[in-house]
Amino acid sequence: MFLTALKAKLAAMVVVAGLNTDDMPGISKDMMSTLENLAAAQKAAAEDPGKGPDVNASFNEALAKVNELAQTGDKDAQYALAHWGVLSNSNLNEVVVLYRKAAEQGQLLAKVELAQVLLQAGQQNEASVKEAVKLIQEAEAGDNKVARRLLANLHLGGVGGVEASVEKAKALLEKGSAAGDGEATLGLSQLYTQGATGLPKDDKKALEMLIKASDQGNPVAMSTYAARLFDGDPEGSSQLVKKDPEKAKKMFEDAAAKGFAAANRLLGAIYENGMGGTAKDLKKAVEYYTKAANGNDAQALFRLGNYFEAGLTQGEGEKAEIVIQKNDKSALDLYRLAAQNGLPEAFFNVGVYYETGTVVDKDPEKAYNFFLRAANNGLAQAQFRLAGLYQNGTGVAQDVVAAKAWYQLAADRGNVAAQIALGQMYEAGVGGPANIEAASQQYTNAAEAGAPLAMLRLASLAERGLNTAKNVPDKARALAWADLAVDASSNAELAVKYRDELKKTLKTDEIAEAKKIYDTLKKSSSEAAPKGGESKSTR
C-alpha cells in the first residue's frame, strides 16, 4: 500500500528524486545500477524535452526495482523508499519503519533522517529526542557530514541533553570544513558573523570562511558572497568586499549551474532590470526565472505569474516583441504554486482572482480565506482588502470592529488607502467613538505620502473647524490643503471643484494666508521621509 501511494505522489517529482551515492558507502551493485539508469533517463529527458524518455515512467520503473531490493533487505533501497516517502508526505509510520530497518543495518543517512523525523514529530517526547540524539551521534562517528552539522546545531542550542557549547559546535564545523564540507564552512562563517559567548564577532574571519565555502562549491555561500560582490559592502561597514559585478555575476551563474534556485532567480532580476552593467534582456530574465521556478522558488514563481498576468513585451514600437503572452489562467496557476510555498503576496493575488471572478467563479469566501492568509503574514494590502470585506460583510459576517483593527494594522505598515479608510472610520465614529484627532493623524500620514483624497479630508476638517487649535473654521488652511490636493491629483475634477468653491468664500487676506500655509506645507511635504513599510502592491 505504501508503494502504491508513493508511486502516485512521486510521479511528478523525478527532479528531486535523485540520491547522492557518494553518501552511500558500500552501495550494492543492483542499487547503483538502478539509480544510474534513472539518472541517465533524467539527463536524456532534460536534454531533449518532449522527445526524450518519459521521466515518470522511468521513475516508476526505478521505484519498483528499489522496492524489490528493499524487500530483500538492501539497506540503501530501504533508505531510498523512506527518503522519497518523506518528500511526498507519505504515511509517517511506514516511513519510520523503513528508516529503522536501514538504520539498524548501519545506513548512516537513514540514521540522520530518522533522527530529523523524530526531532520534528516528537519535540514533546523525551524518549524520541534522546533516540534522535543517539542516532545523530552514531552517524557523526561514522563520518557523516550531515550528522556532524546537526550535532553542531544541537551543541549551539543545548537540545536533547546535549551540552550547550559554542566551542564544541565550532570544533565540529571545523572538522567538517577541513573535510571539504562547504555547508560546515558556511556554518563557521555564520558563527563568526553573529558572534557568541566565547566566540567574538569577527567580520574578517567570517568573510574568510564565506570565501572558503564558496571555493568548496557551496551554492548558498556562492550566492551570499556574490550578492556582496555585486554592490560591494556598504559605507559604514568594514567594507571588506569591493564592488565587482562581473565577478558576482559569474559566481551567481556557477551557483545556478549547481541547481540553486535562488541564484537563478537573482540572475533573472539582474537581466530584468539591467543591473551591474548587464544589458537588460527580458528573454534571459524569463529563462532564469523559469529555472528558479522549476526549482520551486516561490518568488520566481510569483514573478512569472506577474509576467503572465500583464503580458511581457521587449522593445518599443515596431521592434516590440512579445516575450510572454498575457494569460490569466497561467498566472493564477503560478500564483497558486507560489502560495503553496508560503509567499504572502501569492496568497493575496489568488484572493484577488476569486474576489473579481477572473478565470474562476467569483467566490468572496475563498477570497476572504486567501486574504486572511496573506494578512496574517503581515502583507499590508491584504490587511486593507480584508478590512474592506469585514466592513461590507462580503465573504464574512459584517464586523466593523474587526474591519477597523485590520485597517489599523495596514495603516501602521504605511498603506495609504488604509490610512484614509481608518481616518474616515475615526471621523464618523464607526467601530468605536468618533476621534477627530486620530482621524486627522491618519489623513496627515496619507497626505505626507502624496494622497490627494487625504489632503481633501484635511481641508474639510479645517473648513469645519474640527482639527484646528480653537475648534473654529480655518478656511485659509483648508484652501492650502485643497491647493495641495489639486497639485497632487494633477487637477482632478473633484479637487478643482472643491478648491474653487471654497476659494469663493474667502477674503483677500485669507487667500494670502492660505498661500503662506501652502508654501509651508509644500516644503514640509517635500522634506518628509517616506513612511514606507508597505511591500510593493502586486495588484
DSSP per-residue letters across 341-357: TT-HHHHHHHHHHHHHT
pLDDT score at 58: 84
Instruction: Judge whether residue 536 has pLDDT over 60.
Output: no
pLDDT at 48 over 90: no
Query: How far is residue 35's CA from residue 400's CA, in Å, rounded to a whole number?
Result: 60
pLDDT band with cut points at 50, 70 and 90 for residue 22: confident
Q: In angstroms, how far is CA 448 from the centroid of its own chain?
A: 29
Please, which residues have CB within 8 angstroms of residue 449's CB and are 6 or more apart in sequence? 414, 416, 419, 530, 531
Rounded Cα gap, residues 221 and 238, in angstroms: 19
Task: Evaluate the CA torsion angle 135, 136, 141, 145 in order and state its sign.
Answer: positive
The lowest-confidence range among 73-87, 362-376, 440-454, 474-488 is 73-87
The whole-number pLDDT of residue 527 equals: 67
pLDDT in tens, 160-187: 889 999 999 999 999 999 999 999 999 9
Main-chain phi, psi angles of 314, to 5 degrees: -110, 135
Q: Round to whole Å and give the CA distance between 167 and 207.
A: 20
- Comparing 51-55, 132-136, 282-286, 431-435, the range with the smallest average pLDDT is 51-55
d(CA 336, CA 383): 19
Spatial distance between the Cα atoms of 116 and 224, rounded to a whole number of angstroms: 26
Given a cut of 90, is residue 501 above it in pLDDT?
Answer: yes
Q: What is the mean predicted confidence (pLDDT) over 390-418? A: 98
Q: What is the pLDDT of residue 197?
A: 81
Residue-level pLDDT at 311: 97
Note whether 133 and 118 are within 8 A (CB): no
Q: How confident is the model at residue 84 (pLDDT cuts 50, 70, 90)?
A: confident
- C-alpha span between 497 and 456 (Å, rounded): 11
Contacts for 313 with CB less than 8 Å, ≥ 6 apart = 320, 321, 322, 323
pLDDT of residue 528: 60
Q: What would the pLDDT profile of 201-248 be if each residue is shown by its tens digit?
A: 999 999 999 999 999 999 999 999 999 999 999 988 888 999 999 999
Q: What does the pLDDT read at residue 5?
A: 47
The mean pLDDT of 243-261, rounded to a whole number, is 95
Is residue 534 predicted with pLDDT exceeding 50?
no
C-alpha neighbours within 13 Å on the C-beta side of residue 342: 1
Q: Which three cell numbers stand for residue 395?
A: 465573504
Burial class (CB in 10 A: 0-12, 13-18, 19+), 325: exposed
Among 214-218, 256-260, 364-368, the least confident range: 256-260
- 400: cell is 466593523
Q: Compute the average pLDDT of residues 138-159.
A: 94
Decide if pLDDT at 428 tops 80. yes
Q: Compute the average pLDDT of residues 372-399.
A: 98
pLDDT of residue 535: 39
pLDDT at 425 over 80: yes
Query: Which grid coordinates belong to 495?
Result: 479637487
Angle at 295 between CA 276 and CA 344, to 5 degrees: 80
Query: Which pLDDT score, from 0 to 100, does residue 105 have?
Result: 95
- Reported as a single tens digit per residue, the pLDDT across 114-134 is 999 888 866 667 888 899 999
Strand partners, 313: 322
In angstroms, the CA 278 to CA 292 distance is 19
